Chain A
Amino acid sequence: MIWQIEIIILVIVIILAIGALSVKDLLGAAILFGAYSFMMCLLWAIMGAVDVAFTEASVGAGVSTVLFVAAVFRTSRRTED
């Protein structure tokens, strides 16, 4: 499709993936992972996979982020990694 949008979103996706693995605050990592899921959903919608994008929007940017935040809330929040 429109290749300019696709390049921008691919670059953002790589930056978000590296960021979610590098930050030292686990709550920030969970939120960055939610943003990564939502950018993936946009990529799939651009490629025409509307069912898959719908599923990823509801699962990744919805329930998955909530489960991560719940798990981080009940365990420790800082990491030195």
Chain B
Amino acid sequence: MDAFLNVLISKANYWVYITLMMIGLYGIVAKQNMVKKIIGLNILQTAVILFFISIGAKKNATIPIIEHAHDGTHTTIAAIHYINPLPHVLMLTAIVVAVATLGVALTLVVRIHQQYHTLEENEILKRIQET
């Protein structure tokens, strides 16, 4: 019981990130409305980005901007004082791709509504089979 509590406290935040990913995945697969599917997709994307950012955290380290860089004083820079900047760089690209995907997805939703006058998936399938 004690060991379980230790494991729970040390890994609890990873479990919350996994819960968010699963909420997003449920939204994509199970929801019938197109806009809800897109919201689920974005929840999944931001949850994955959150997980990556949590990998780069370091205890007692500061943000990845070098302090007193151009003051004229030359201090040695130790890697243990700054947070790992590499996940941040990769996740910046991921956020840009997420917003581009959101733009195209909403365009497709508007186009589908122009054609079929509904946004529910079962209704759209029915109307496709009728024509």
Interface of A with B (CB < 8 Å)? 6, 10, 13-14, 17-18, 20-21, 26, 29-30, 33, 36-37, 40, 43-44, 47-52, 55-56, 59-60, 63-64, 67-68, 70-72, 74-76, 79-81
Instruction: A71 to B102: give the CA distance in the assembly, Å.
Output: 11
- A-B pairs with CB below 8 Å: how many? 113
B124 at the interface (CB under 8 A from A): no
- The answer to whether residues A14 and B19 also contact, given A47-B57, A76-B118 and a CB cut-off of 8 A, is yes
Interface of B is mostly: helix
For chain B, give the interface size range. 35 or more
- The answer to whether residues A59 and B99 also contact, given A17-B24, A21-B36, A44-B50 and a CB cut-off of 8 A, is yes
- The answer to whether residues A10 and B33 also contact, given A29-B39, A48-B63, A79-B120 and a CB cut-off of 8 A, is no
- The answer to whether residues A81 and B20 also contact, given A33-B42, A49-B53 and a CB cut-off of 8 A, is no
A18 CB contact (under 8 Å) in B23, B35, B91, B96: B23
Instruction: A32 to B92: give the CA distance in the assembly, Å.
Output: 23
Give me 5 other A-B pairs in contact (C-beta within 8 A), A49-B53, A52-B95 excluded.
A21-B31, A33-B39, A68-B35, A81-B33, A81-B36
A40 CB contact (under 8 Å) in B46, B63, B120: B46
- Nearest 6 CB-CB pairings of A with B: A75-B113, A71-B106, A81-B33, A79-B33, A48-B83, A21-B27
